[in-house]
Structures are given as C-alpha cells and as structure tokens.
Amino acid sequence: MDESEKIVYKVVRSRRKTFAVQVTEDGSVIVKAPFLSSDLQVRRLVEKKENWIRRTRARILRNRSIAAKMGGKLSCEELRDLKAGARKLIPGRVEYYANIIGVRYGKVTIRAQESRWGSCSCLGNLSFNCLLMLAPPEVLDSVVVHELCHIKQMNHSPRFYDEVRKAFPEYDRWQRWLKNNGPVLMARLP
C-alpha cells in the first residue's frame, strides 16, 4: 500500500459499545462500530489509526510473501509429517530439560495450532505446536523450557523468567526469533 493511497475500509455495525479496527489476513481493513455511530466518527478513527493500519498491513503482506517463498501453505501430508517428526523429537527434549529444571510433567501432546507455540496445564500436561519443527532447534528448546518452567511458576513473573534463563541462557535471543518469524510459520497452516 502506497503511503499516499487512501485507506479503504469496510464498516460493520453491531450492538457493540466500542470501536475496533481489524486488518485481515488478506490485508483488508474492517472497522467494527456501534449501531448509532456516525460515518464521521468512523472516518476519524481510521485517520487516528492510519499509521497502525499501514504498519500492520505491511507486516501481514510481508509475512505472506515470505511464507510463499518458504513453500506457501503446507499440504495435509506435510502437516502429518511435521506432527510425526514432532512426536519423535519433542518428548526427548522435554525429558532432557525436565531433568535440568528439576520438574515432573504429565502428558506431552503435539498439535497444529494457529496462535500458540506451547502450553502447560495446571496438571503439568504439555502441548506443543508441530510448526516448531520448521524453526531452528534452539527455538523449539526455548519453548520447551518455557512450558516446563510453568510447572514451577504458573505465571510470567520475573521469578518465572529467572527460572527460564537459568535453564536456557539464550532464551531471549530465540524468543525474539520466534516473535519475528513465528507469524510466517503460522501463515503456512492450511
């Protein structure tokens, strides 16, 4: 989108009480507005959010372009292969780091998730995204350590991150990689 190009948007009115601006995966802009809001209010909101809209749209389109270069959407067969590979690799990484951290864990499951890299239940059951198989091994390890440390600290407090960095000193570096490149990997889900 050219900086001088006017932002085109669609307005969806409903019983909501607040406004929201959304940039969809195809780059279109949707403004969600209360029924009684005026066109002027909507236009002013879009003008106020113009920089955010342009940045978000550019990021989405850039990620789509990178994903296309990486092979585009995964086929069902490729996704099955990723899950199978993750089921073979990740439990071993969990066991390795659980011994270092000094925790016991429950079940380990592998999923293809659209928004999470991992999770830890209050029972110590762990879930990991099979797309981690497309990332550098250090990224996978950083997510494994993060989830295992939740067994000790079920929060994201400074104490939690102290535990994470004690077990995996390069955690911040690989989380930055995931933050920057993760959306590209997620965009490959069918």
CB contact at 8 A, 159 and 153: yes
Check if the beta carbon of residue 188 is closer than 8 Å to that of residue 66: no
pLDDT in tens, the chain (190 residues): 455 688 999 999 999 999 999 998 788 999 999 999 999 999 999 999 999 999 888 877 776 766 666 667 889 999 999 999 999 999 999 999 999 999 999 999 999 988 899 999 999 999 999 999 999 999 999 999 999 999 999 999 999 999 999 999 999 999 998 988 888 888 888 8
Residue 158, exposed/middle/buried by CB under 10 A (0-12, 13-18, 19+)?
exposed
The whole-model pTM stands at 0.68
Q: What is the DSSP string of 156-180?
A: -SHHHHHHHHHH-TTHHHHHHHHHH
Q: Rounded distance, CA 29 to CA 9, Å?
A: 5
Q: What are the pLDDT digits (tens) for 78-130?
A: 999 999 999 999 999 999 999 999 999 999 999 998 889 999 999 999 999 99
pLDDT of residue 1: 47
Answer left, alpha or beta for residue 71, where phi above 0 means left and psi between -120 and 50 means alpha: left
Domains belonging to the chain, first-starting first, are 9-69 (no CATH), 76-186 (3.30.2010.10)
